[in-house]
Structure 1
Amino acid sequence: MTDDPSLQAESKPSVRRVEWGFASFAILWSLWLVGQVARDRFWLTGLCFYIPSPVMAAVGLVAASVLGYRKNGRISTLLGLMTLAPTLMVGFVENHWSRPLAEASAGPSVRLVHWNIAYGVWGLAGVEQELVRRRATIYVLSEVPLPYDLTKLAARLGPYHVAVRMGSMAVIATGQLLDPTELVNEKNLKVNSVTWEDGGQPLKIFAVDATSNLLVARDPHLRRLVSLMKQHHPDLVAGDFNAPRRSRSLCPLPDGFAHAYDVAGQGWSATWPVVGPLYAIDQCLISASILPTKYELWSNRFSDHRLQELDFIPRSATERESR
């Protein structure tokens, strides 16, 4: 490496800094690649999977540009080639930039909002104001503080809204919320089920909250969630999964399920942290009984998570059978 004439002209400490910098990036790039191939199959590969592609792309591009400016051509070119992989992942795999065409269907649209409100530590008044502004039919909230008067919040959201709390999660909706059940209530995974009914086809909703502890492997919990989805056939699954959308158990999903972002969203898909989102860890999954029309993510200063918003039309039994 030091045979390059441009490097020989530099001092030895400067050459060593370039070599160590390149070696460090190469190691990090190798770990990132392991994560992209194995994803969260094992706990250790899961840690590699959580190395953010946007960070890898940004660091590589900056380093390649600096070295190119300083006429370290060979290393600059090599860095540029290595950076190509995470750049393509960001641009064409982890995000897409046009919204898929929505299917035509009759019927009124329903809006579901999921939001991790971080126990209100960023300002409960602001949280409530933002929820009111969304004008949703169904709200699924993660990390709801105790104590907190959900009845008053439901009244603020609309005259026909009712609320159900299940541990640290809550569902607020118009009409009726029937059979609230804590299917899993453990330290590292919570899966709650409730049936929403408002004069039309009843919809079963799963509200999910998984641990953020990096010492806990994600895949076993995600496989358990998928098993419950196959067993109970929910129409909607929403929550803070603390696992990327491309996790092994979430990509692909069981037959009949899809990510709302993939079928009705566009743009930057990461949901955390709000300041420079890098991880798509808040998920909204839909079954064949749901016709999505639009999925969007919104940032504000009242939580460290972005808010998920899904507009959809419940499919009739005839539409479902024809698919």
Structure 2
Amino acid sequence: MKLAARWLGLTLLFLSILVFLAWLLGRVLSDRFLWSQYLSWLPSILSVPVAVLLWMLAAALHRLGRRPSKPRAFGLWGTGVCLAVAMLHFALVELRLHHLPLPPRPTSPHLRILHWNVTAIQRLHQVRDPLLAQHADIAILVNPHSDVGWAAFPEAVGPDFRVISSAGFVIASRLPVLRYGVAWLGLQGLPPETESSLPRRHGWTDPGRAMYLELDTRAAFGRTSVIWAIDLPSEPKLSRWKIAHDAAAIIASYRGTEIVIRENGTIEGVPSAGFPPPDVVVGDFNMTRGSAAMRSMLPGMRHAFDEAGAGYAATWPRYGYRTPIPLIHVDHLWVSPNTTALRYEIVDPGFGFHRMQVGDVVPGGTPLRGAR
């Protein structure tokens, strides 16, 4: 009996160490390599508790068995210390529990941004009602491909919003949009002979896309505000590091047509000089928070959650995939060094595969940026 308990305890300890090391490698190496990106997707809310539970069972079985040797005892308690550090990291860095509860919405002038991937939504009211409930200044909706009657969307959200639809983005803004541009990123998909991990066949390609908008926030901030919206491929077999570097290079070299909206409401297409420097970047990156690839794509920018969020923050899957809660934070909001996030929250809209993200931001002392 004691011998069986001893060997079962060793097995459980080995499994605990294995889960912990996989989680740790994912956090350290992130998505710099194709193989490590899969480890970086291991959700802490599952990995850390599972490793701790296995360790606790191993410790209990060691107490039932013979007194362990010094090396075995060192391994057991050394693993326990590592797991305690992992739990602290999860609680204080990934959950930021010491910043709960979140403050209420600011009362001073600010810009409230809503971003939501509306994939799989089937009714117009399922988009309208959650959107209006957040009282956003600008709502950025991605993947409006389902048949919800998008032609009626401007009337559904009301006259307070100006609606723009382009390249798989739908923008509803209470503030005047001075100009915008869109770029298909042309990212390389899977080879034709390669089977996708997603429910498609072979050689599926999602080229990715990006959009920039300049909002007239001069009345509140004394300057305009530039937002980038980005949507990157979801295929798990594609290297996130390569996607991020290719997307950054394409955006940096972009030259296309910019849509300028004049004060009298006339619209003019002019040659674009490229994406202007962003104050805020939002999007479904299909990368986890803390992604090395995402940080390399947006150098100098800060994640709004790390600055103004707290609690459990994951956006996908909102439902389905046999998970009771979302497991991965794939939708993100970043702020520039010249912008400050006051509040960041993940909201369950009640519909669709993704939760929405809502952020309140203010400028951080940049000079006036004039609109064209």
With structure 1 as the length reference, what TM-score do the two structures score?
A: 0.80
CA contact (8 A) 2:137 2:175 kept: no
Query: 2:164 is matched with which residue?
Result: 164
Against the structure 1 CA distance between its residues 97 and 226, is the aligned structure 2 distance closer, same or farther, given a 3 Å change threshold? farther
Residue identity matched to 1:109: H
Question: 1:136-179: CA deviations, max 9, x gaps?
Answer: 11111122124444453233333131222233332221244433
Contact 2:20/2:48 (<8 A) preserved? no
Residue 242 of structure 2 aligns to a residue in which SS?
helix
Partner of 2:259: none
RMSD (Å) for aligned C-alpha atoms = 3.3
1:56 to 42, 47, 51: 47
How many angstroms apart in 2 are the aligned matches of 1:9 and 1:107?
A: 66
Segments of 5+ residues of structure 2 without an aligned counterpart are 188-204, 254-273, 319-323
Partner of 1:191: 209
Gaps of 5+ in 1: 1-7
| Structure 1 pair 196–154 and aligned structure 2 pair: CA distance change class (3 A) | farther
Structure 1 residue 314: deviation in Å? Answer: 4.1
Q: Which residue of 1 aligns with 2:237?
A: 215
Distance 1:17 1:165 in 2: 60
The residue number in structure 2 matching 1:312 is 361
State the TM-score, normalized to the length of structure 2.
Answer: 0.71
CA contact (8 A) 1:241 1:281 kept: yes
| Change in 2 beyond 3 A, CA 1:205/1:229 | farther
Q: Indicate yes or no: 2:263 matched with 1:262.
A: no
What does 1:1-323 correspond to in 2, within 5 Å? 9=2, 12=4, 16-70=7-61, 71-72=63-64, 74=73, 77=77, 79-99=79-99, 108-120=109-121, 124-177=124-177, 178-186=179-187, 187-198=205-216, 200=218, 201-227=223-249, 228=251, 232=275, 233-251=277-295, 254=298, 256-274=300-318, 275-314=324-363, 317-318=366-367
Report if aligned partners of 2:112, 2:359 keep a CA contact under 8 Å in 1. Answer: yes
Contact (CA 8 Å) 2:175, 2:217: kept in 1 or not? yes
Between Structure 1 and Structure 2, which shows a larger proportion of helix residues?
1
Equivalenced residues, count: 308
Instruction: Check the 8 A contact 1:32/1:49 in 2, yes or no.
Output: yes
1:252 is displaced (CA, Å) by: 6.5
CA distance in structure 1 between the aligned counterparts of 2:83 and 2:110, rounded to whole angstroms: 43
Q: Give me the identity figure in percent.
A: 22
Q: Write the distance in 1 (CA, Å) between the matches of 2:42 and 2:284.
A: 19
Label 1:98 to 1:82 Cα distance change in 2 as closer, same or farther (>3 A): closer
Compute the displacement of 1:125 (Å). Answer: 2.9
Matched AA of 2:243 = H
Distance 2:326 2:17 in 1: 24
